[in-house]
Chain A
């Protein structure tokens, strides 16, 4: 059915690239093209920069992000928050904590949310995909039917729905909600990749040589699926971070803000955005930048791996 089929087509065509049989190593020619692609270089630069910041944040952050040093400057009645001052270049937030430190340390949590959500989605998708592929028959049909229906529901709505299932949301529920939405994507991707490869020459050769099925799957087919999986993972990383922010916006996010996270900061700033726009703009800018970085890398990777682009 064509419901959601454009999205499915994109996943499927990505999956097919893993079955490319031509002589020159796909990775080698892809890398050659990537090295010259300004999109890829720019995106990678952004990602690397953010990862570095995330790693060294606790050391470079001037203050403890959960310490309410400037609490006395917060005047609720007049809706005032601490202004930029010596030692606190970006001022304070609604609770009197150093805003810059929260931004810097927030990189950690935000990236963690993205990575965890992606990994869980990937593992879940892998499990489902191999389940369907391994058993075949009605198991395969049933699993893929469910996957297709899930794919046809708009991702964000699905995330909202899952987020709403929890009476007391916390970091874990956010990651869960965002990652479950990605499971059908990876499931379809991996199954498509396996299917495409089953017909390919090297698998047929291995089978006819008597190599065991399990060995074929793990040593031949999965490594070839790596390309599409990496592409999808980078794109999923970007969307998970944004989806998590949307969840916070609706009040389905993690209410505990001692450990800062950009999406949470953005969601929390919505009530005061007209009076203190910077509380929203800075986290938003960071989210946009990192999402852009991952998207640029993912899209350039997708182009590089596209067999049609090969010479």
Chain B
């Protein structure tokens, strides 16, 4: 599999590690909502189809990537740098 890192260009999947299902929101650090924390840490959507994932280019620039990948066809539809997607939660 080839993942096109926005910085490094197309690279072999052996240079990357899968980290997390993407598009999830970490509760505010001071939040005491146990259910929200449980959901963040343990619950996954695990979509069959287009799926947002967080990968790290661990064998390259080490950036975290937001990868939109179809888990059925393995086709990668989009890759952006995680810190530039603006989808992450900003703590209060």
The answer to whether A binds B is no
Chain A interface residues toward B at CB < 8 A: none
Chain B interface residues toward A at CB < 8 A: none
